[in-house]
Structure 1
Amino acid sequence: MPNDKTLHIPTPDGLADAYAAFPDGGGRHPAVLMYADGFGIRPVLREMARELAGHGYYVLVPNVFYRQGPAPVIELPEYIGEEARPAVIAQLMPLIEAHTAERTLRDADAYLRFLTTQPEVAPGPVAVTGYCIGGLLATRTAAAHPGQVAALAAFHGPVGADGPDAFTGITAQAHFGHAESDLTPETLGRLDEALDAAGVSHTSEIYPGTAHGFTMSDTDAFDSTGLKRHWDRLLPLLDRTLAGSR
């Protein structure tokens, strides 16, 4: 079983609480910065981080809304179903809207700096991955740290929200796994064109039959086939790009 712990990351705006999972047995491991979806750090995210740690990675999941308090920033039901979702989203939207690109990059600097100081983290490049809004944060982080971020993965995330220029500077190998309900094949084509124009080495696909949030087993969007496809894409990407840090 992987080890795990709660940590506090110094940032220019305070201390960000975070969850970390990493392999048992000592040693140093390649790092993955994992951005949660808008619902934040909760049992399903801890489970996913531990799953990834079991494959040999140090996984850090920051509470991106730490300015409003420690996770969970809002009270969440155990299962975020259709009835509960509107009220939860209504509470979250002001937090998401306040989390500007400037804040994202200021925090990303702090998160990556923190990772390099952890005794369980191997020197070398890192990966960033994210879900829902976390996919956009991961993409911004990869663009801002081309020398450090070797892999980028985003799932059911609005990765094109910042426009095509947002991909400029990304040197990471990337995978984007889209929900079928989130974009059309035509939109996917335009996104691929923007990624190609920016010179990003990537795979980008719509996961069949999926709705927004398909990786999250505590929501009614969950799709077990989509989650498996996510692991089938993510793990080889990390293995290719971070193998030298093992």
Structure 2
Amino acid sequence: MCELEKGFIVDTSMTRRGLVVSLSAAAALAGLPGEALAASVSEKDVRVRTADGSADAALITPAGKGKYPAVLLWPDILGLRPVFREKARRLAARGYVVLVPNPFYRTKRAPIVTGPFDFGDKAAMAGLMKLKDTLTDARIDADTAAYLGYLDRQPRTDRHRGAGVVGHCFSGPYAFRAAALAPGRFRAVATFHGGGLVTKDGDSPHLLIPRTRATFLVDIAQNDDKQQPEAKTVLKDAFAAAKRPASVEVFAADHGWTVAGSPAYDEPLAERAWSQLLGLFGRTLA
């Protein structure tokens, strides 16, 4: 069975061994051309001044000269780590200035998790959820403003073109919030197996859609859809009512399928989602 806890799915039907994510092997499992990308992008660790301190992050830009659209790439609940740096390199190689922040910088610098992580370990999961609970909407909004400001100050960022934002898992709502916070800048929003996009609360992320001017890509995991089958319809109706262009699709894959190293990682479907992302950015940020 699957359990949904505050927007995070754990598939408890898997074997305990199958629930262990090897973070060090994540990039290798992706089968991505890391060495080739390294020659076409520039990567550095940076510190971004925020209202609450200084956030550690990775900034990846295309090599050479020129100006490019900005992209804020939120990681999943395991935070800033090699697999998300690799995603950022792939984007940068396509012509984007990409920032990947450590969402938990107030508590600890990245990596938040080192070595294998067992999603079947209740104590370990409780620790992650405790970290997640430190990220209030107000804090996320303030951080997003700081990250966007940082991106826009980069000499390689083309501020005359729209910016993109991507959320994974628990950071799916952060992408929606970003689009509402800065509708004049964020023109493309993508979420992959995002948790908590539709809730019964008055601050549900889907209620922010009318405040945005973005085009949306919402790829939903099949086990998330099983837990909340009405969410896709609510999202489609909200996009239609707000006249926001959007693609909402349930993938035949489980929560985490786009992240190499995840127990649910599905390379062919991850690559299809990746192609959708590139298409979205190509249409909206050009």
Partner of 1:230: 273
Partner of 1:203: 247
Contact 2:198 2:234 in 1 (8 A): no
1:105 maps to which of 141, 145, 151:
141
Partner of 1:176: 218
Alpha-carbon distance in 1 for matches of 2:261, 2:125: 15
Contact 1:33 1:59 in 2 (8 A): yes
Partner of 2:64: 25
2:132 maps to which of 85, 96, 112:
96
1:152 maps to which of 185, 189, 205:
189
Partner SS for 1:66: coil
| TM-score after normalising by structure 1 | 0.92
* Matching of residue 55 in structure 1 with residue 97 in structure 2: no
How far off its partner does 1:116 sit? 0.8
Alpha-carbon distance in 2 for matches of 1:196, 1:36: 28
Partner of 1:114: 150
What letter matches 2:88 in structure 1?
A
| TM-score after normalising by structure 2 | 0.79
**Runs of 5+ unmatched residues, structure 2:** 1-38
What letter matches 1:180 in structure 2?
Q
Partner of 1:3: 42
Contact 1:81 1:220 in 2 (8 A): no
Partner SS for 1:204: strand
How far off its partner does 1:227 sit? 0.7
Partner SS for 2:106: helix
Contact 1:80 1:219 in 2 (8 A): no
How far off its partner does 1:82 sit? 5.1
1:25-69 deviations in Å (ceiling 9; x for gaps) = 122211110000010011111111111111111110011111012
* Matching of residue 66 in structure 1 with residue 105 in structure 2: yes
Partner SS for 2:68: coil
Partner SS for 1:59: strand
Q: Would the alpha carbon gap of residues 27 and 86 (structure 1) be closer, same or farther in structure 2, given more than 3 Å must change?
A: farther
How far off its partner does 1:3 sit? 1.0
Alpha-carbon distance in 1 for matches of 2:117, 2:270: 17
Alpha-carbon distance in 2 for matches of 1:96, 1:189: 27
Alpha-carbon distance in 2 for matches of 1:119, 1:146: 22
Contact 1:173 1:201 in 2 (8 A): yes
Alpha-carbon distance in 2 for matches of 1:193, 1:76: 41
Alpha-carbon distance in 2 for matches of 1:199, 1:99: 30
How many residues end up aligned between the 2 structures? 239
Q: Would the alpha carbon gap of residues 117 and 31 (structure 1) be closer, same or farther in structure 2, given more than 3 Å must change?
A: same
Alpha-carbon distance in 2 for matches of 1:52, 1:176: 18
Alpha-carbon distance in 1 for matches of 2:277, 2:98: 13
What letter matches 1:211 in structure 2?
D
Q: Once superposed, what is the RMSD of the aligned Cα atoms? A: 1.6
Contact 1:151 1:238 in 2 (8 A): yes
Partner SS for 1:215: coil
Percent of residue pairs bearing the same amino acid type: 38
Alpha-carbon distance in 2 for matches of 1:199, 1:192: 10
Alpha-carbon distance in 1 for matches of 2:66, 2:231: 44
How far off its partner does 1:122 sit? 1.4
* Matching of residue 221 in structure 1 with residue 264 in structure 2: yes
Alpha-carbon distance in 2 for matches of 1:82, 1:242: 36
How far off its partner does 1:214 sit? 0.8
Q: More deviation in 149-158 or 219-228?
A: 219-228
What letter matches 2:181 in structure 1?
A
